[in-house]
Amino acid sequence: MIVSNTTSISNLLHLNNISLLAELFGTVYIPEAVANELNVVFLSSGEWQKCIEGEQIIIQPISNTIFVKQMVPFLHQGEAEAICLSLEKKARLCLIDDKDARTVAQLNNLLVTGTLGILLKAKETGLISSVKKLIDKLRAEHHFWIREDMYQKVLHIAKEP
């Protein structure tokens, strides 16, 4: 099972590449808070609706609300619920971008990746031709922040100038 927070899905929707999730991971599960966050921006998006209706993305409620309440002072609701759902369902991967949320997930022994990892995997498997082009679009048009050293590292891994 793969669980996602908001940002990876949002970024892929902005890039018109949401199909990468299904192509790389099959079905992806999200908690209700993540669905609510995505609906704020993408409710009228046909691609988002197709993901939900086609069950590429499944909304799954969490059980351990106490865990989430303990995490919310440190993380956003969606991040806390995504980590909680990952733990409850013993997810093999949690898609999460935020540094603090990744740290909490890793402290709870979850394997994590985010938008950059998804794009690298998509390039490695031949689903996309350029990581740089997509990251640059996110940076220029969608306020995607990445440290310059990380940007260069990703381009090096992708074997792109």
pLDDT at 16: 95
Q: What are the CB-based long-range contacts (under 8 Å, 24+) for 120-128?
A: 120/154, 120/157, 120/158, 121/24, 122/17, 122/20, 122/23, 122/24, 123/158, 125/23, 125/24, 127/20, 127/23, 127/24, 128/17, 128/20
Q: Distance between the two ends of the chain, CA-based, in angstroms?
A: 34
pLDDT at 160: 95
Selection from 48, 56, 60 nearest residue 90 by Cα: 60
Selection from 110, 108, 74, 76 nearest residue 95 by Cα: 110
Q: Taken in order 31, 128, 151, 15, is the CA torsion positive or negative?
A: negative
pLDDT at 161: 86
- Token pair for residue 14? 């902005």
CATH architecture of 2-115: 3-Layer(aba) Sandwich (3.40)
Stretches where the chain sits below pLDDT 50 are: none
Answer yes or no: are the C-beta atoms of 29 and 58 closer than 8 Å. yes
pLDDT at 61: 97
Answer yes or no: are the C-beta atoms of 81 and 62 closer than 8 Å. yes
In tens, the pLDDT along 46-72 reads 999 999 999 999 999 999 999 999 999
Contacts of 143 by beta carbon, 8 Å cutoff, 6+ apart: none
- Delimit the domains of the chain by residue range: 2-115, 116-157
Put simply, whether the predicted model's pTM sits higher than 0.85 gets the answer yes
Selection from 12, 55, 50, 54 nearest residue 30 by Cα: 55
Selection from 127, 106, 115 nearest residue 154 by Cα: 115
